[in-house]
Amino acid sequence: VTLKVSGVNATSLTATTVNGRATFELEAVFPGVDTVTAEAGGVTASATVTWREPPSAGAALILVVNPPRPFALVTAISFWGHPSGTVHYQAPDLKLQSSKITSVVATKGSATIFGTATVAGQPVVFRVDVTGGLRDGTVRLRVSNGFDSGVVPVRLTLQLA
């Protein structure tokens, strides 16, 4: 059985049937809409799935300063569930500046920021995962166009949650 996902979380999975059943687990990286199509023996079935970002939780002020690395500045504040801020990323293979921060989920030592941006004139959804403390940490940017920065060590992360 083949499962194809098109949309913001595009992927393809395969599974072997056991007693006529195949099991798949999907976890969305990005909020948005995906079309999920299963195919087995020439028969197909499709469904639409709408993934929502988690509601903002906690309060975070995140500053990442890491020249000459691609992350120049990440700021996000969520007080009483109202996220705001900007995300800037510039590297030879991608330039991103956020249009809107849609969710910030902060816990002690980590935060996840969801938002929208434009890359090469195309709208995208992004997710930034931040871990660390007052002096060092890591940042990872994933974009719905397939870009993944990987885990990037940063010199300064300030986070209050």
Plot region of 41 (φ>0 → left; ψ -120 to 50 → alpha; else → beta)? left
Helix (H) or strand (E) run with residue 155 in it: none
pLDDT in tens, 96-146: 888 899 998 888 788 888 999 999 899 999 999 988 877 778 889 999 999
Contact criterion met (CB below 8 Å) for 48 and 27? no
Identify the pLDDT of residue 78: 67
More confident residue, 92 or 160: 92
Question: Is a pLDDT exceeding 70 seen at residue 158?
Answer: no
Cα 127 from Cα 142, distance rounded (Å): 5
Give the predicted TM-score (pTM) of the model. 0.79
